[in-house]
Structure 1
Amino acid sequence: MASFIVLAPELDGQRDDDKTVFVRDGFALLAFILTVPWLLVQRLWFEAAVVFGSMVLISGVGTYSGHENMAGFITALLSLLVGFEGNNWRVRALERRGFSQLGVVDARNADDAEMAWFLGENFVSSHEVSVSAPPAIPTVQASHKPALGGMVGLVSHRGEN
């Protein structure tokens, strides 16, 4: 499961739930692969300008000095940095625009995070199974046969707890 940071703006002292944003906390693969376009789509103008300028500068210095391979490696490291920090930069940019952090939701994807946030206690994921009554505990037999079940040592098979 992933963690999603919940942010919402305030209008006239009240929270505007229609503009609530859920930002995944963690590595952004698209930010790593498409570094500058991802920053531009997320409206991180300053960060995009700094990263683009750094990439151009690194490429120019690498070409001029004859170290193109090292320049490519450093550019890849810069893209990796954006992949790790991109979502944090996005949260900070939203806070500068007047959004405030409301909480953190653990969910499989952004849609589940939104449903869990707005439905609260009434939300049950489609993968969860609700149990109405605990299973009956088997009684101990007089014979001491080893119980054959879904256990291997102290670890049960998947789905059995």
Structure 2
Amino acid sequence: MYRFGEWLKENRRLSGWSQIELSEKTFGEISQPAISQYEQNRSVPSIADIDHLARAFGHTLATVPWDVIDFGYGAKRSVTKLERRRFDLKELPQADSVRTFDGKTYELHGFIGIEKGSGEAVELTQLYYRIRTVVSDAHVLAKRKNPDDELIHVKKRKNVRQ
């Protein structure tokens, strides 16, 4: 597994482009400084930016190797001493899966969720407000009791029932 910035830099170099040329290939949608931030893993791109970059390389979102790209900033964070705080959308790529209020389970691959039953791919931005439980390494990271509540970090790591 490697980080998004490494994947981006590798594809850019294989194409023989500078960061400025890659910016131009995205029709100016992504600036050269933003590309630099992504390559240095100092910033995580939005799904729209990933789409623009993938298209510049001749890929689609479906052909991005989600299973080998880490969108986090290193190892997954320990959540043993987290205070009660909101679990943000940008934290979701660190998780392994989510369960929604309608009972569906989605495996997470970067900013895409793949529904286990049907294989349907959904962007996390479309999924976030339907999420009931967030899971990583067989432990619950965040929950919400009602669809109108905020998604909140759990105080203690809870095991997931298999």
Q: Report the TM-score range of the alignment, normalised by the length of the smaller protein.
A: under 0.3
Relative contact order, CA 8 A, sep 6+: which one is greater?
1
Larger Rg: 1
Question: What TM-score, normalized by structure 1, do the two folds share?
Answer: 0.23
TM-score by length of 2: 0.23
The structure where strand makes up a greater share of residues is: 2
Higher helix share: 1
